Amino acid sequence: MNTVAETPGEHPVTDMKRCIEDCLRCSRVCFSMAMNHCLEQGGPHVAPPHFRLMIICSDLCRVTADAMLANFVLHEELCRACSRVCEECAASCRDLDGMEECVDACEHCSKSCAAMLRR
Amino acid sequence: MNTVAETPGEHPVTDMKRCIEDCLRCSRVCFSMAMNHCLEQGGPHVAPPHFRLMIICSDLCRVTADAMLANFVLHEELCRACSRVCEECAASCRDLDGMEECVDACEHCSKSCAAMLRR
Amino acid sequence: MNTVAETPGEHPVTDMKRCIEDCLRCSRVCFSMAMNHCLEQGGPHVAPPHFRLMIICSDLCRVTADAMLANFVLHEELCRACSRVCEECAASCRDLDGMEECVDACEHCSKSCAAMLRR
Amino acid sequence: MNTVAETPGEHPVTDMKRCIEDCLRCSRVCFSMAMNHCLEQGGPHVAPPHFRLMIICSDLCRVTADAMLANFVLHEELCRACSRVCEECAASCRDLDGMEECVDACEHCSKSCAAMLRR
């Protein structure tokens, strides 16, 4: 039996709450690692395509979280873009030293956002 | 003859510049009208679905502009979401008094973002 | 004996970590309550001076948290402004029904930011 | 005779409009140069203290512009912080090749924000 409030055609409330948490964590981890670990390491950690991914991923995750926090009806448009960008950011981080936390945050966020899309 | 620098499969530089301008203008107009005209008018101007559209539309337009300013490779993911949200925001503003500038900014931004998508 | 890493003239690391958490919580609570409780209640909850405080407070708290997450040397400039804006936001929320969580978040954030300033 | 609408103790409307434009320009120039010129140049252009200044300066300029666009009563708190951060960002950019546009944007924004403070 489902103990979670659920309206037909909508997402269970707990799924959205988890997605908000995953987006906020990913936004914070990407920004913090870009501005600390990546800048301090230099070299491939500040290669333009990688660094741009980190910063735009962080910004998009935050707006996606805000859309869900605001009960915005079109949150799926943002979740779709966010899921894709997080997936690419995870892939870019996987090739670099010391980015495990960022890979994990991006992977979780990508999956949570994908789960918000209407099947 | 085309005088604009263009790489096969990419967008003409002038199209992206125009899209950046349209996104920045839309972000500013939505935020400013929400925080001034809408709050001062009250009533339907601060109905939750309308007001949320104005705020999230403004935020998404800004991140979409940032993605293009940063030469971010996945900017199309953001342009797709931004085009859709702007379209809805224009529709929501059309029903309300004194929102002509916002309707115009959202319509232009929606079209510019749609034009950035690969056909 | 102090077990926390501390450099003369700098803040204990734990103080900054707590301030980051307080800023991120305040940013989220202000935005979420503005976009849900305030818009749904209407009346004095969407009075322009109150609502503007909620939105700008949320934005400033986020940038202040980002400055500290990025180990930005001039974070005190942001903490000073943030402490003052949060204090005013707490005062504005105190007069309205159902804003206890926001009063609490703003008060904590205001104090944490004030504690980051060099005496 | 003063042809600009002015309330005793407040700023002339034209001063605030100029300050908003300067903040928005500075936010855009700092972000765009960080994500393009600085990342592409590497070396001292991505030294952590310089790069953090560029990113936080861009974010703070945007929130300061938003505060004025929203007619936020406490905009001086943000203008004070913004003026100081822009001043430091201009100084940091002055030492690096090809950053003239950023030096100019930061200097103008710093002065405009300082002019918003009550004497």
Helical axes D13-33 vs B48-69, angle rounded to 10°: 50
Cα maximum dimension of chain B: 53
> Is a pLDDT exceeding 60 seen at residue B116?
yes
CB–CB of A70 and C28 under 8 A? Answer: no
Å between B59 CA and nearest CA of chain A: 7
Report the alpha-carbon angle D87-C63-C55, nearest 5. Answer: 120
Over residues C58-87, the mean pLDDT reads: 98
Å between C61 CA and nearest CA of chain B: 16
CB–CB of A46 and D46 under 8 A? Answer: yes
With CA atoms as reference, the chain D residue closest to C89 would be D74
Å between C84 CA and nearest CA of chain A: 24
pLDDT tens-digit map of D12-58? 788 999 999 999 999 999 999 999 999 999 999 999 999 999 999 99
SS3 of residue C12 by DSSP: coil
Q: How many domains does chain A have?
A: 1
Size of interface A-B (CB pairs under 8 A): 65
B→C interface, C-beta within 8 Å: 35-36, 39-40, 42, 46-48, 51-52, 55
CB–CB of C56 and D71 under 8 A? Answer: no
User: What pLDDT is stored for residue B3 in this prediction?
Assistant: 38
Is position C6 within any domain? no
C-alpha span between C64 and C74 (Å, rounded): 10
With CA atoms as reference, the chain C residue closest to A69 would be C32
pLDDT tens-digit map of D72-106? 999 999 999 999 999 999 999 999 999 999 999 99
C-alpha span between A41 and A33 (Å, rounded): 10
Structure tokens belonging to residue A32: 């913090």
Q: What CATH number is attached to the domain comprising C95?
A: 1.20.1270.360
CB nearest to D71's CB, from B24, B36, B71: B36
Q: What does each C-alpha distance from A85 to A80, A98, B59, B83 come to in angstroms? A: 9, 20, 17, 17
Size of interface C-D (CB pairs under 8 A): 65
CB–CB of A74 and B85 under 8 A? Answer: yes
Half-sphere exposure of residue C14: CA atoms within 13 angstroms, side-chain side? 4
For chain C, the average pLDDT equals: 92
Give the pTM: 0.92
Is position A104 within any domain? yes
- The percentage of chain B sitting over the pLDDT mark of 70, rounded to a whole number, equals 90
For chain A, the average pLDDT equals: 92
CB–CB of D39 and A48 under 8 A? Answer: yes
C-alpha span between C110 and C78 (Å, rounded): 12
This complex has an ipTM of 0.90
Q: pLDDT-derived band of residue B7, with 50, 70 and 90 as boundaries?
A: very low
pLDDT tens-digit map of C49-66? 999 999 999 999 999 999
C-alpha span between B32 and D20 (Å, rounded): 12
Burial (Cβ within 10 Å: 0-12, 13-18, ≥19) of residue A63: buried
Is position B49 within any domain? yes
Å between D102 CA and nearest CA of chain B: 15
Q: How many residues appear in chain C?
A: 119
CB–CB of D81 and C85 under 8 A? Answer: no
CB nearest to A70's CB, from C35, C66, C70: C35
Is position C1 within any domain? no
CB–CB of C63 and D67 under 8 A? Answer: no
CB-based contact B35:D71 (threshold 8 Å):
yes
Q: D-chain residues within 8 Å CB-CB of A40?
A: 48
C-alpha span between B115 and B80 (Å, rounded): 10
User: What pLDDT is stored for residue B119 in this prediction?
Assistant: 57
User: What pLDDT is stored for residue D4 in this prediction?
Assistant: 40
Is position D26 within any domain? yes
C-alpha span between A1 and D74 (Å, rounded): 52
Contacts 24+ apart (CB under 8 A), A59-64: A59/A27, A59/B63, A59/B66, A60/A85, A60/B63, A60/B67, A60/B78, A61/A23, A61/A24, A61/A26, A61/A27, A61/A30, A61/A86, A61/A109, A62/A23, A62/A24, A62/A27, A62/C62, A63/B56, A63/B59, A63/B60, A63/B63, A64/A23, A64/A113
Write down the residue that tokens 């109150």 correspond to: C50
CB–CB of D70 and B35 under 8 A? Answer: yes
> Is a pLDDT exceeding 80 seen at residue C10?
no
The neighbour count for residue D95, using CB atoms within 10 Å, is 10
CB nearest to B48's CB, from C40, C48, C51: C40
CB-based contact B83:B110 (threshold 8 Å):
yes
Chain CA centroid to CA D81, Å: 10
Over residues C37-43, the mean pLDDT reads: 98
CB–CB of B85 and A77 under 8 A? Answer: yes
Is position D64 within any domain? yes
Å between D36 CA and nearest CA of chain A: 7
Alpha helix ranges (H) inside chain C: 13-33, 39-41, 48-69, 75-94, 100-115
> Is a pLDDT exceeding 70 seen at residue D59?
yes
Is position C103 within any domain? yes
CB–CB of D31 and B71 under 8 A? Answer: no
Helix (H) or strand (E) holding D16: helix D13-33
> Which residue in C43, A78, B69, B28 sits closest to D68, CA to CA?
B28
Is position D84 within any domain? yes
Domain span including residue B25: 13-115
Q: C-chain residues within 8 Å CB-CB of D78?
A: 56, 60, 81, 85
Structure tokens belonging to residue D79: 């203008």
CB–CB of D60 and C63 under 8 A? Answer: yes
pLDDT tens-digit map of A50-106? 999 999 999 999 999 999 999 999 999 999 999 999 999 999 999 999 999 999 999
